[in-house]
Amino acid sequence: MSKNSIGTVFRIILIFFSLVSFWLVTLALFYFLVSTIFNIEFSLKTYFILFSCFIIFRMFYPKNVFV
């Protein structure tokens, strides 16, 4: 593999992990805020289930649904 292809693969992996970590942190803050406001128990199991559902929804949601 040339240096360009290694850099491209590295960039793709880095972008993927940065997007996943962005949604992980955003959803964690939102879930923590909601659980604090409504006095719901913060559970990591529930959080990871919500995160998995959110990622699956984002992967398969049609982009131009409201256009």
At residue 5, φ and ψ (nearest 5 deg) are -70, -35
The answer to whether residue 65 sits within a structural domain is: no
Which pLDDT band, with edges at 50, 70 and 90, does 4 fall under?
Answer: confident
Give the structural domain span for 10.
3-60
| Total domains present in the chain | 1
The answer to whether residue 67 sits within a structural domain is: no
Q: Tell me the per-residue pLDDT of 24-52, one tens digit each, with 9 for 90 and over.
A: 999 999 999 999 999 989 899 999 999 99
The answer to whether residue 16 sits within a structural domain is: yes
The answer to whether residue 14 sits within a structural domain is: yes
Q: Are 55 and 23 in contact (CB under 8 A)?
A: yes
The answer to whether residue 7 sits within a structural domain is: yes
